[in-house]
């Protein structure tokens, strides 16, 4: 009954390979995210989808392509992996709550356990 689950938890691969990380949430949330955490523990947003629609796309190489088949799933595909892609990738979701002036994703995020990617 894990709320936000991502697979695989660990991924070790060679430079130049293509890999995917999958994420699923069973919280009924409308918004999902991918964050990257580097070796210094710095967390940086990569993408956000709201009900399958891309709403945030930070400056991320186009080797990274998110896909949201439905609002409960957000997968991350990475082409031509590079050494610098080694990091922990976190999926997260948040509910859509009404705030003054309209509905916006709330700031509270529910994170998965992370997927540690090591590129050799």
Partner 1 sequence: GENVGLHLPTLSVQEGDNSIINCAYSNSASDYFIWYKQESGKGPQFIIDIRSNMDKRQGQRVTVLLNKTVKHLSLQIAATQPGDSAVYFCAENIAPSHRLAFGKGNQVVVIP
Contacts 24+ apart (CB under 8 A), 48-55: 48/105, 49/74, 50/96, 50/105, 55/31
CB-wise, 18 or 58, nearer to partner 1? Answer: 58
Helix (H, G, I), strand (E, B) or coil at 10: strand
Question: Beta strands 19-25 and 10-13: pairing type?
Answer: unpaired
> Quick check: 43 and 58 in contact, CB under 8 A?
no
The answer to whether 110 contacts partner 1 (rule: CB under 8 A) is: yes
CB of 68 to partner 1, least distance (A): 17
Beta-ladder partners of 37: 43, 88
Residue 73 lies near partner 1 (rule: CB under 8 A): no
| Residue 84 engages partner 1 in binding (rule: CB under 8 A) | no
Window contacting partner 1 (CB under 8 A); options: 13-21, 42-50, 61-69, 72-80:
42-50
Nearest alpha-carbon partner for 25 in 108, 98, 110: 110
Site string for partner 1, 16-35 (x = CB under 8 A): -------------------x
> At its nearest, how many Å lie between partner 1 and the CB of residue 109?
6
| Residues at the interface with partner 1 (CB under 8 A) | 4, 35, 39-45, 48, 56, 90, 92, 104-114
């Amino acid at each position: 009954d894990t709320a936000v689950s991502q697979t695989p938890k660990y991924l070790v691969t060679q430079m130049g390979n293509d890999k995917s990380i999958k994420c699923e949430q069973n919280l009924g949330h409308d918004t999902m995210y991918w964050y990257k955490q580097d070796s210094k523990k710095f967390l940086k947003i990569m993408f956000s989808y709201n009900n399958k629609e891309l709403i945030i796309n930070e400056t991320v190489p186009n080797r990274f392509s998110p896909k949201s088949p439905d609002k409960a799933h957000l997968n991350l595909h990475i082409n031509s992996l590079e050494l610098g892609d080694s990091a922990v990738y976190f999926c997260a979701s948040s509910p859509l709550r009404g705030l003054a002036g309209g509905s916006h994703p709330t700031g509270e995020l529910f994170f998965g356990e992370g997927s540690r990617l090591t590129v050799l």
